Amino acid sequence: MGMGYADFGGGPAGSHAGHGQHSDDGWDGPPPQPGDVSVAELTGPQDGIPDVAVTLTAARGSFRLATGEQVDGYTLNGSSPGPEIRAKQGDLVEVTLVNDSVPDGATVHWHGIDVPNAEDGVAGVTQDAVPVGGKHVYRFVAEEAGTYWYHSHQVSHEQVKRGLFGVVVIEPVGSEEAVPSDVVAAVHSYSGRRTISGRTGTQTLETEPGETRRVRVVNTDNSPLRAWVTNSAFRVLAVDGRDLNEPPEVRDRVVVVTAGGRVDLEVTAPDDGSPARVDVGGGAALLIAPQEAPAAAAPRAPTQRVDLLTYGTPTDIGFDPEQADRRFDYRVGRRLGFIDGRPGYWWSINGHLFPDVPMFVVAEGDIVQMTISNSSGDVHPMHLHGHHAVVVSRNGVAATGSPWWVDSLNVEDDETYVVAFVADNPGIWMDHCHNLDHAADGLVAHLAYTGVSEPYRVGKPVGGGADNEPE
Ligand code: C2O
Ligand code: CU
């Protein structure tokens, strides 16, 4: 797992009383203590008939985008993105991953869905990668309505970039009218071709004048994307699967969607029948109009941003970040050194290079504050698995808008965010940069609960010539 040393954030050590054990091919985790629960036991419900059952068959090969371009990569059930998975809040979801022909093995991680740890789909951390010919069943209850996505977390910098992902929508119960009006806009670049849900260029979503759509923008790329709406006011309804409180209408603003992040936009088709247009860069756009609208040149992006630090209205978040039981620093920098014996100018965490990086240790029930800062010269989309954190402040300025919950946070160079969360989901969780090339270069740490032991190993051979290699 690549955890160099335990960081207790000012709280008690619990069972993680010291350094883990390194071996040449990975991290063995903290030595198990009597009474520990294994990651493998922290599953979703094992009994019960699923409300939603899906089989995802992963394959390596070339395929065509819906708009015809040839791509050499990976598919799920023959396409990329893979099938959109839809569940209602409260549904038991069962997904069977079958690896038909992905030589390095594959997994499915439920990005942003705070599933039980054993369902999290991280090779070498929560399961072994599934080799060619193998399968793995994931089961979890869809608890929080929102926009999420899934992707392989085995050799992810390669597999996600080349197609092994799809979108998950969890619909709220008791709001049937929301169902027909929403649309997924999964943004992905295949060899530099920017697509929305697998199509390059512009596409029209037929919508009556005055009708409102919820556009679920998902950034599956490695860099932040800018989304903007032309010819209509809009609202930011949700970020990372959490509705914002009282989001006001805005105009002529860009919305930054960090890598791995999601933003739901409310867009209304203009009364005069002209198209409202949602751009995501690279010429990819969604036209919201009564009929197929002619392609036009992409309008320029506005210069002003929607600033989520001040957008919307505050409301109770259910805990007090000031009462934190643990306070951690996650300082991203860059320095000279060696990773895997390779010299380079590498990302560092709290001054250390992978794998000698902190493992953030918490106990169940703790309130946790984390100060994430960046002096590395590049932007990092920081993603914590298994939890949503609320933004407390940015560069020392307190958040004053709607509670801004994230699972993926855009931390630009020279920025410092304080975020807080409740440790309510025991397990061992990745906490890494979602520029997956950065993660592959060592920008990876973990959050570990006391009393949880790790049976899996990064670097372990899992059959078919594959080793567990989550990044
Ligand atoms: Cu979207 Cu660690 O992942
Ligand atoms: Cu990064």
Element (H, E) at 408: strand 408-411
Q: What is the DSSP string of 5-17?
A: EEE-TTS--TT--
Question: Which of 228, 214, 206, 223 minimizes the C-alpha distance to 284?
Answer: 228
Residue 433 and residue 367 share a domain: yes
Pairwise CA distance, residues 306 & 180, whole Å: 27
Residue 143 and residue 231 share a domain: no
Query: Is residue 12 situated within a structural domain?
Result: no
Residue 199 and residue 71 share a domain: no
Query: Is residue 7 situated within a structural domain?
Result: no
User: Does residue 383's CB lie within 6 angstroms of at least one atom of ligand 1?
Assistant: yes
User: Does residue 157's CB lie within 6 angstroms of at least one atom of ligand 1?
Assistant: no
Distance 153 CA to ligand 1 centre (A): 7
The answer to whether 381 touches 260, Cβ cutoff 8 Å, is: yes
In the chain, the amino acid numbered 407 is D
**Minimum CA distance residue for ligand 1 atom 1:** 111
Residue 73 and residue 184 share a domain: no
Which of 289, 307, 340 is the endpoint of a domain? 289
DSSP lists the bridge partners of residue 457 as: none
Pairwise CA distance, residues 190 & 199, whole Å: 10
Residue 165 and residue 78 share a domain: yes
User: Does residue 430's CB lie within 6 angstroms of at least one atom of ligand 1?
Assistant: yes
What letter would DSSP give residue 321? G
321 CB contacts (<8 Å, ≥6 apart)?
367, 369, 390, 392, 418, 420
Specify the residue for token string 């929305």: 196
Mean pLDDT throughout 353-369?
A: 96
Query: Is residue 218 situated within a structural domain?
Result: yes
Determine the pLDDT at residue 1.
44
42 CB contacts (<8 Å, ≥6 apart)?
116, 117, 118, 426, 427, 452
* Span 176-195, pLDDT tens digits: 655 558 999 999 999 999 99
Residue 449 and residue 331 share a domain: yes
User: Does residue 438's CB lie within 6 angstroms of at least one atom of ligand 1?
Assistant: no
Residue 364 has pLDDT above 70, yes or no: yes
Query: Is residue 114 situated within a structural domain?
Result: yes
Determine the length of the chain: 471
Average pLDDT, the chain: 94
The answer to whether 456 touches 38, Cβ cutoff 8 Å, is: no
Distance 442 CA to ligand 2 centre (A): 9
Mean pLDDT throughout 279-303?
A: 91
Among the bound ligands, the one closest to the CA of 349: 2
Query: Is residue 72 situated within a structural domain?
Result: yes
Residue 23 has pLDDT above 80, yes or no: no
Query: Is residue 300 situated within a structural domain?
Result: no
Residue 433 and residue 336 share a domain: yes
ω before 81 within 30° of 0 (cis)?
yes
Q: SS3 for 245?
A: coil
Residue 185 and residue 77 share a domain: no
CATH number of the structural domain spanning residue 151? 2.60.40.420
Atom of ligand 1 nearest to the CA of 122: 2
Atom of ligand 1 nearest to the CA of 149: 1
Among the bound ligands, the one closest to the CA of 443: 2
Residue 189 and residue 160 share a domain: no
Residue 350 has pLDDT above 80, yes or no: yes
Residue 24 has pLDDT above 70, yes or no: no
Determine the pLDDT at residue 270.
96
* Span 130-179, pLDDT tens digits: 999 999 999 999 999 999 999 999 999 999 999 999 999 999 997 665 55
User: Does residue 253's CB lie within 6 angstroms of at least one atom of ligand 1?
Assistant: no
Query: Which pair of tokens denotes residue 231?
Result: 């010819």
Distance 443 CA to ligand 1 centre (A): 12
Determine the pLDDT at residue 13.
87
Which of 109, 138, 173 is the endpoint of a domain? 173
Atom of ligand 1 nearest to the CA of 432: 2
The percentage of the chain sitting over the pLDDT mark of 70, rounded to a whole number, equals: 94
Residue 248 and residue 146 share a domain: no
Mean pLDDT throughout 427-436?
A: 98
The answer to whether 64 touches 70, Cβ cutoff 8 Å, is: yes
Determine the pLDDT at residue 320.
98
Residue 201 and residue 109 share a domain: no
Distance of CA 452 to the CA centre of its chain: 23
Distance 99 CA to ligand 2 centre (A): 29
Determine the pLDDT at residue 33.
78
Number of domains within the chain? 3
Say which range, 5-9, 294-298, 359-363, 369-373, has the weakest mean pLDDT: 294-298
* Span 57-68, pLDDT tens digits: 999 999 999 999
Residue 81 has pLDDT above 60, yes or no: yes
Determine the pLDDT at residue 102.
98
Pairwise CA distance, residues 291 & 284, whole Å: 18
State which residues form the domain around 87: 52-173
Distance 372 CA to ligand 2 centre (A): 12
* Span 203-248, pLDDT tens digits: 999 999 999 999 999 999 999 999 999 999 999 999 999 999 999 9
User: Does residue 432's CB lie within 6 angstroms of at least one atom of ligand 1?
Assistant: yes
C-alpha pair distances (Å), 453 with each of 15, 46, 338, 424: 10, 20, 29, 17
Pairwise CA distance, residues 382 & 433, whole Å: 5
Helices (H), 90-231: 156-159, 178-181
Query: Is residue 270 situated within a structural domain?
Result: yes
Residue 18 has pLDDT above 80, yes or no: no
Query: Is residue 321 situated within a structural domain?
Result: yes
CA 240, 242, 246, 250: dihedral to nearest 10 degrees? 20
The answer to whether 316 touches 301, Cβ cutoff 8 Å, is: no
Distance 345 CA to ligand 2 centre (A): 14
Phi-psi region of 143 (alpha: psi -120 to 50; beta: other; left: phi over 0): alpha
Mean pLDDT throughout 92-112?
A: 98
The answer to whether 77 touches 83, Cβ cutoff 8 Å, is: yes
User: Does residue 446's CB lie within 6 angstroms of at least one atom of ligand 1?
Assistant: no
User: Does residue 111's CB lie within 6 angstroms of at least one atom of ligand 1?
Assistant: yes
Mean pLDDT throughout 320-328?
A: 98
Residue 167 and residue 135 share a domain: yes
Atom of ligand 1 nearest to the CA of 160: 1
Pairwise CA distance, residues 262 & 121, whole Å: 20
* Span 34-45, pLDDT tens digits: 889 999 999 999
User: Does residue 151's CB lie within 6 angstroms of at least one atom of ligand 1?
Assistant: yes
Distance 275 CA to ligand 1 centre (A): 35
Which of 119, 146, 173 is the endpoint of a domain? 173
Residue 385 has pLDDT above 60, yes or no: yes
Distance of CA 169 to the CA centre of its chain: 13
